[in-house]
Amino acid sequence: MTASGNMGQIDVAALAERLAQAEELQLIDVREANELAIARLEGFEHLPLSQFKQWAEQIQARFDPSAETIVMCHHGMRSAQMCQWLIAQGFTQVKNLTGGIDAYADKIDPTMTRY
């Protein structure tokens, strides 16, 4: 995380390693329910962007703004938007999963369904 408030990035290999080590991370998946039905990673909290108004006000209560937070979507665009919003809410260690779950399925878990 840079001092300018820009979001960080994490690639799928680094995420897989950190998940395997059971590190304490806040994990957010902003995809829609129908996307989760196709492919999902355990441990990610589901906050679909289409339901933003339903969960936005509780974000500070549900997550620790100072804890490392990794955000995922399908390819990395929606999660990048979420990262920028979290930073605006005062979150300080926000990282976007580069390539999203599609890259994870491609590079880490070939048994995962791609869409």
* Nearest partner of 96 among 19, 14, 21, judged by Cα: 14
Tell me the chain's radius of gyration from C-alpha atoms: 13
User: Choosing from 73, 97, 103, 105, which is the catalytic residue?
Assistant: 73
The C-alpha atoms of residue 52 and residue 24 are separated, in whole angstroms, by: 25
83 is catalytic: no
Give catalytic residues, as residue numbers: 73
